Amino acid sequence: MKRWMKYIRPYLPYFILGPLCMIVEVIGEVVMPKLLSVMIKRGEANPSILTPGFALTIMGIMIVTALIMMAGGIGGAYFGAKASVNFAADLRKDLYTKVQSFSFAEIDRFSTGSLVTRLTNDVTQLQNFVNMLLRMALRSPGIMICALIMAIFTRPSLSVVLAVSMPCMLLAIFFIIRKGFSRFSRVQTKIDALNNTVQENITNVRVVKSFVREDFETVKFQNTNSDLKQTAMGAMRVMIFMQPINTFFMYATTIAVLWIGGKSVVIGGMNVSDLTFFVNCVTQILSSLMMITMLLMTSSRALASAKRICEVLDTNSVLSDENATQKQKAVTKGEIEFKNVSFRYYKENPEEVLSDISFKIPAGATVGIIGSTGCGKTSLISLIPRLYDADEGEVLVDGVNVKEYSLENLREGIGVVLQKNTLFSGTIAENLRWGDDEATDEEVSRVAEQAQADKFVRSFPQGYETMLDQGGTNVSGGQKQRLCIARTLLKKPKIIILDDSTSAVDTATEAQIRRAFREELTASTKIIIAQRIGSVKDADIIFVMNGGRITGMGTHSELLESNAEYKEIFESQTDPKSAEER
Ligand SMILES: Nc1ncnc2c1ncn2[C@@H]1O[C@H](COP(=O)(O)OP(=O)(O)OP(=O)(O)O)[C@@H](O)[C@H]1O
Ligand SMILES: [Mg+2]
């Protein structure tokens, strides 16, 4: 409850005013039948008082009551909506912030589809519940209790009927709701699966089409969709009994009351107005009870959603900087050191992705990393901005363990152009300003020049204002890579990491990027991962990697002398015969 109070407190007036307005409605609902009963009773006792004046007075009172009730109803609905919508918006905001703090591993654990469902559908379930709760929580029990009291006062002996029917009805409903809860949890899981499928398909629609997999994907979607349908039907199948059970008890009780009460009227123990009033009370009691059960049904669904929301809110990212001791420190030099670092993605798997890596890179140096695919290059550089944490050993930046920095300061100082990179929908300038949202137009075009992007951007009719599609699909692969590099350069990081970021750029343009890096980014440490020897051969030092280990370190000429693997890669890329074979 403490958790939810955070979302209730700022809107407490709405949370209070909503139910209060509903109470006005409740009072009206009880007063109305009472007025009717008064009229009948007076008329029964003395038909001569039933003058138009008397009837008009009663009618006038009834109309005023109805207007007051209406105002209460409108107020209740308005404040209820305001409270629940704000409650949901704040909750979504917190969930989103939480998800932003997640590491890759945590996002993988939930799956992106499931996180989307939790942020949207689950929050909406909760919002609907809060709305309903505010409107019904006081209203229905209020009406029920008032009507119950009046019924007992009117005819205590007839109330025995209610004493039997109400517990029976509650018991039946309790069983339904208990069965419904687990089924609703399952429905949410199926919505996760559906979201996952849709998201994967639409994000990768180009691949789907190029492999002509539309039919296969449609079948896959249909399966997930029908799975969701079946599960939802399963839940509904239980809930479907709710209405008939309510109606059954309502009519059974009314018949019993009319039967017993009618006998009493015949033998003269009870008058017609009391019986009419009593039947009215019974209808109100049972329909309120029905509303309460509806509320319980929504609560069963909301509970399942609340549980899933709490799972996200309770996940504390393993990559947190809570215990960091030097949160104020920023990366100022760009010196990097690995001390006996080992790393695995799956902690239960003994096989290491990186084993016992040690090296030191002085500030401002250019380092090349080369090695076969899957040897651990991306994994190695991921440890520097703490995208993952090392399992053993230490990663130091400027002589301080990366865990001691605040994540923000650490990542602010390190610019990584990831291997699997993406751009976002928006203009080119907006995308580049991810690096620095206050950069001037001159600064933007300067980094674009360094990344050899300025020329092609200016060749577009709208230049820097050209709109990019989601993922940057309306520029070529090489153009996208250059924009990603420019975006990172705008951060002016002390450490720049290019993970295979020029693989789609032609060699002449790549050479120009290298020259710009060498001449203009002298103060930054540069790490360049590449498949082509040409991309790294001018580096101050080159690491050769194999099977998660660094098997050679040196300059291009040193490695050619001392490292057979490097020599082999070099020859395969320069020897015309091997090139042909390739
Ligand atoms: N997110 C991940 N979860 C689990 N295993 C991973 C993950 N990323 C990579 N791996 C595994 O870790 C190993 C090293 O991968 P890594 O991406 O570091 O290689 P790489 O040298 O960058 O390869 P490439 O040249 O193809 O980019 C591989 O065996 C890969 O299957
Ligand atoms: Mg890689």
Give φ, ψ of 460 to 5 degrees. Answer: -75, 145
- In a shared domain, residues 306 and 360: no
Q: Is 165 in the pocket of ligand 1 (CB under 6 A)?
A: no
> CA 341, CA 410: separation in Å to the nearest integer?
19
- CATH code for the domain in which residue 565 is found: 3.40.50.300
Residues 466 and 525 in one domain: yes
Stretch 272-280: mean pLDDT = 85
Single-letter amino acid code for the residue at 211: F
Ligand 1 close to Cβ of residue 353 (< 6 A): yes
Distance of alpha carbon 19 from alpha carbon 145, whole angstroms: 16
Phi/psi-derived region of residue 334, left when phi > 0, alpha when psi is between -120 and 50, beta in every other case? left
Does 347 reside within a domain?
yes
320 inside domain: no
Write the residue with the smallest CA distance to atom 5 of ligand 1: 345
Q: CA torsion sign, 532 to 533 to 536 to 541?
A: positive
What are the b/e assignments for 496-520, b being 16+ CB within 10 Å?
A: bbbbbbbbebeeebbbebbebbeee
Can you tell me which atom of ligand 1 is nearest the CA of 548?
Answer: 14
Question: Is there a domain that residue 120 lies in?
Answer: yes
Could you list the residue range(s) of the whole structural domain that residue 95 is in? 2-313
Q: How many Å apart are CA 460 and CA 457, to the nearest integer?
A: 6
Residue 377 CA, closest ligand 1 atom number: 21
DSSP 338-354: EEEEEE-SSTT----SE
151-210 pLDDT per residue, tens = 898 888 888 888 998 899 888 888 887 887 788 888 888 988 888 888 888 878 878 888
pLDDT at 575: 62
Residues 364 and 492 in one domain: yes
For residue 553, the 8-state DSSP code is E
Q: How sure is the predictor about 580, in pLDDT bands with cuts at 50, 70 and 90?
A: very low
Distance CA 151, CA 145 (A): 10
Domain boundary among 313, 344, 367: 313
Structure tokens that stand for 488 in this block: 């990172």
Gap between the Cα atoms of 465 and 467, Å rounded:
6
Residue 390 and residue 295 share a domain: no
pLDDT at 582 over 50: no
Question: Other C-beta atoms within 10 Å of 211: how many?
Answer: 10
Contacts of 293 by beta carbon, 8 Å cutoff, 6+ apart: 173, 177, 242, 246
491-514 confidence digits (pLDDT tens) = 889 999 999 888 888 888 888 888
Q: At 572, is the pLDDT very low, low, confident or very high (cuts 50, 70, 90)?
A: confident
One domain for residues 45 and 170: yes
Q: Whose CA is nearest to atom 16 of ligand 1?
A: 376
Residue 466 lies inside a defined structural domain of this protein = yes
Whether the Cβ atoms of residue 406 and residue 321 lie closer than 8 Å to each other: yes
When mean pLDDT is compared over 81-95, 421-435, 455-469, 483-497, the highest value belongs to 81-95
Residue with CA closest to ligand 1 atom 14 = 376
**In terms of domains, do 297 and 400 share one?**
no
pLDDT of residue 15: 94
Choose one of 347, 370, 379 to mutate for the ligand 1 pocket test, by most ligand atoms within 8 angstroms of C-beta: 379
Q: Is the CB of 379 under 6 A from ligand 1?
A: yes
Asked if 34 and 142 sit in the same domain, the reply is: yes
Same domain, 309 and 341: no
Query: Cα–Cα distances in Å, from 76 out to 21, 79, 285, 411, 425?
Result: 5, 5, 21, 48, 41
Residues 304, 340, single domain; the answer is no
Check residues 90 and 183 and name the one with the higher pLDDT: 90
Q: Report how many domains make up the chain.
A: 2
Assess if residue 435 is contained within a domain. Answer: yes
Pull the structure tokens for residue 9: 């407190």
**In this structure, is residue 422 part of a structural domain?**
yes
> Is residue 369 lining ligand 1, measured as CB closer than 6 Å?
no
Asked which of 50-54, 502-506, 559-563 is least confident by mean pLDDT, the reply is: 50-54
Least distant ligand from the CA of 372? 1
Question: Same structural domain for residues 257 and 346?
Answer: no
Q: Cα of 374 to ligand 2 centre, how many Å?
A: 7
453 and 560: one domain?
Answer: yes
